[in-house]
Amino acid sequence: MLGNNLKWCREELEMTQKELGYVFGVHESTVSGWETGKDIIPLKKLIKFCNLYNYSLDFVVGLSRQNDKHINIDKVDKKVIGNNLKKLRAKLNLTQQKIANECMISQTTYSNYELGLYLINTLSLYTICKRHKLSMYEIIK
């Protein structure tokens, strides 16, 4: 869903892939890759897109069918996200390995997300939110 919604939003803004690429400092072929699902837009770039054009993260990635809950995110803090992931996992009574398996990543990688050593990637965040019926904002805010 992510690529199709990103493309829809870009087209609604009457922007070309080249113009959106300019905004992000990437080549238009990179934007094309995001839109076709060949590549996944990095979380910071996704948030920047949503902030600049007032789109909801959940709408752009396909977790919501309506663009009615945009929340501006001033700073992406991997420590805050890590703590939120840890709290969520405890609330759901899941192991790191279980969530890592859902995301098709290693337990070590997931652990590094929780520790705030790495910023969670967009696909893993989407997978967690989709699987557990959450908003991305619940984890990144």
Predicted structure pTM score: 0.91
Tokens of 129: 């939110």
Q: 23-35, pLDDT tens digit by residue?
A: 999 999 999 999 9
Where is the domain boundary, 10, 34, 61?
61
pLDDT digits (tens, 9 = 90+) for 62-102: 999 888 778 889 999 999 999 999 999 999 999 999 999 99
Beta-carbon contacts of 105 under 8 Å, excluding residues fewer than 6 positions away, are 124
CATH code of residue 30 = 1.10.260.40
Instruction: Clarify whether residues 14 and 57 are in a common domain.
Output: yes
Range of the domain at 104: 78-140
